[in-house]
Amino acid sequence: MPITESQIFIALFIALINGFLALRLGSSLYRKSD
């Protein structure tokens, strides 16, 4: 099954959301431990 352009954009979008959430979670935990 060939990967379509839309699937690439969806994968990038999901990765961006996951990275953003991980960054927020990490920064909030870092502030709490301080």
In one-letter notation, the amino acid at residue 24 is R
- What pLDDT does 22 receive? 97
* Full-model pTM: 0.65
Q: How far apart are CA 22 and CA 31, in angstroms?
A: 14
User: Would you state the pLDDT for residue 5?
Assistant: 96
pLDDT digit string, tens, across residues 1-34: 788 999 999 999 999 999 999 999 999 998 887 7
pLDDT score of 8: 97
